[in-house]
Amino acid sequence: MNNDTNLPELADWLHLTWSDEQYKQFERFESWLISEAAEAGGIGPREYQRIRDRHTADSLAFVKIMNPTGRTVVDVGSGVGLPAIPIAIALPHVSVTILDRSERRTRLAARACRVLGLENVEIVMAPAETVTATYDAVTFRASLKLQSATAIFQQLAKSGGEGLFALSRRNEPNESLVGPEGTTFSVELVDSEVLDSPAWILRMKRTTA
């Protein structure tokens, strides 16, 4: 995303129509990332000038390729709510779970949800391995290595569910990625129409119950 990209352009990119309140929620979240999350170590101090691309648009890249029929999403290792909170703002009809083992990070995420007035977000503080609920979609953004993420995906995804694992915003992955038994892998390219560089996301699909 270049410096001129605005929130309506992101909505158009996703083929979504957002209310004035949703636009305000995005703006408040970006301000909160700078004013509170950064001070608490939730984002890097050098990212102030890159909030929209590095965090908002990058998080919405998951929405770009997410199965639109899904109604439940869990974001594993969500930290201060990335990409979970932008997903929840963009898709208010979807129930989004923020899953993180850290009390400090989940308290920060809960604070953000209160500031934004989000009603479609649940926050769970627990190791992912202990969660028994299942979801239509499982997202991973810089939280786990692929092997660990795949195992968590197989545990948390419903039959027919999908996992979305952020691979790269720099270089196209050149290795052949093959999923384990019961799971298929495919690499999805998210165009750079509103991103400052392309994004590659690995889609995992459950093929067995």
Q: Is residue 118 part of a domain?
A: yes
The alpha carbon of residue 197 and the mean position of all alpha carbons in its chain are separated, in whole angstroms, by 17
CB 163 within 8 A of CB 138: yes
The per-residue pLDDT for 154 is 96
Q: Is residue 194 part of a domain?
A: yes
The per-residue pLDDT for 44 is 66
Rounded CA separation 30/116 (Å): 11
Here the CATH number for the domain that contains residue 184 is 3.40.50.150
Q: Is residue 2 part of a domain?
A: no
The per-residue pLDDT for 1 is 36
Q: Is residue 136 part of a domain?
A: yes
Residues whose CB is less than 8 angstroms from the CB of residue 87 and which lie 6 or more positions away in sequence, other chains included: 59, 60, 62, 63, 66, 73, 75, 94, 96, 139
**Domain extent at residue 99:** 7-206
pLDDT higher than threshold 90 for residue 41:
no
CB 75 within 8 A of CB 139: yes
Strand 95-100 relative to strand 72-76: parallel, antiparallel, unpaired?
A: parallel
At 91-101, the pLDDT tens digits run 999 999 999 99
pLDDT higher than threshold 90 for residue 85:
yes
Q: Is residue 108 part of a domain?
A: yes
Q: Is residue 39 part of a domain?
A: yes
pLDDT higher than threshold 80 for residue 43:
no
The per-residue pLDDT for 172 is 76
Rounded CA separation 77/125 (Å): 10
Report the number of distinct structural domains present in the chain: 1
At 150-170, the pLDDT tens digits run 999 999 999 999 999 999 877
Q: Is residue 1 part of a domain?
A: no
Neighbours of 9 (CB within 10 A): 14
Rounded CA separation 86/13 (Å): 15
The per-residue pLDDT for 92 is 98
At 11-38, the pLDDT tens digits run 999 999 999 999 999 999 999 998 887 7
Q: Is residue 67 part of a domain?
A: yes
The per-residue pLDDT for 94 is 99
